Amino acid sequence: MNHLVFIPGIILAVMGIVFSVLYTRERLQFGRPSLKGVFLKTAASTAFLMTAMLSIFGQPILTVNPDLAAGEVLTTRHCYLFFVEAGLVMGLLGDVWLALKHFSKESKETYTTAGVLCFGFAHVFYMIGMIAFYGDFNRLFFVLWPFGLGMFLGAVVGSCGNRVGLRFGHFKKPVTVYGTLVGSMALLAGSLAFMYGFSEPTLNLMFIGGFCFLISDLILAGSYFGHGKNKAHYVITNHLFYFGALVLIAMSVYFI
């Protein structure tokens, strides 16, 4: 780990946490995202994105020139960094779209769909990065079973939501697909972490971060598709797990 890069990364992460707290307070004060809240949440997501992007300066020179030393050639480590950072970018866009839905009744469903798509792609990118760098195709079981169980969990969420007071309506299919991706990402990180005997800090952080995402989205589903789920403790726990997931995922890149 390059500590000259890690320390500024910690500073950026702390800035993101401060913006997260300010956003949560704004959200509690107004009961719904205000324009100021949108800026604060965007600032928080941007700080976490910059935290991850800063780590590239601690890596070997990024080049595909085969005449250079092996340590300077493009590696799967760079691939992991790229896809994690791409996932954080998609998460940032998802934050923007989901926030904008509160300011336009006519386009509310469009913004919601765009937000779900962005977060869905974010989890796809996280999984591609983990498989590219940590996947072992001699032990495919550790890569494949999380997707099977993730599909099952997504189907359960989509089909049983009405039994717990959730009304997905025509969002049932997107919610099912998104639930599959969120569950698969957390399970994949956990499966790979187990495969390495939990000796890889990056995978351990992705594993915890993935489940923080999962918990946050389960709480958020109640807010979006249920009733009486917008009370203060729901808002606080939702944002605690969501921003906690971003911190863990952003910091994971410093330990590869």
Model confidence pLDDT, tens digit, residues 78-88: 788 899 999 99
In the prediction, which pLDDT does 188 show?
Answer: 97
Cβ atoms within 10 Å of 111's Cβ, excluding its own: 18
- Residue range 201-225: mean pLDDT, rounded: 90
Instruction: State residue 63 phi and psi, 5-degree precision.
Output: -155, 155
Rounded to the nearest integer, the mean pLDDT of the chain is 86
Instruction: State residue 39 phi and psi, 5-degree precision.
Output: -65, -40
Can you spell out the DSSP letters for 223-243? HHHSSS--SHHHHHHHHHHHH
Total structural domains within the chain: 1
- pLDDT confidence tier of residue 147, bands split at 50, 70 and 90: very high
Specify the length of the chain in residues: 256
The lowest-confidence range among 26-40, 66-80, 188-202, 213-227 is 66-80
Q: Closest Cα to residue 180, out of 148, 219, 150?
A: 150
* Token output for 110: 């469009």
Model pTM?
0.88
For CA atoms 64, 65, 66, 70, give the dihedral sign. Answer: negative
Lookup result for tokens 């969002």:
171
CB-based contacts of 26, cutoff 8 Å, min separation 6: 33, 34, 36, 37, 40
Rounded-to-integer distance, Cα 33 and Cα 101, Å: 10
- pLDDT confidence tier of residue 197, bands split at 50, 70 and 90: very high
pLDDT at 57 over 80: no
Spatial contact of 181 and 153, defined as CB atoms under 8 Å apart:
no
Cβ atoms within 10 Å of 199's Cβ, excluding its own: 9
In the prediction, which pLDDT does 228 show?
Answer: 56
- Residue range 10-15: mean pLDDT, rounded: 93
* Token output for 40: 């604060």
Helices (H) and strands (E) in the chain, counts: 8, 0
In the prediction, which pLDDT does 85 show?
Answer: 93
Rounded-to-integer distance, Cα 4 and Cα 249, Å: 20
The lowest-confidence range among 75-89, 101-115, 180-194 is 101-115
Domain range spanning residue 191?
A: 3-255
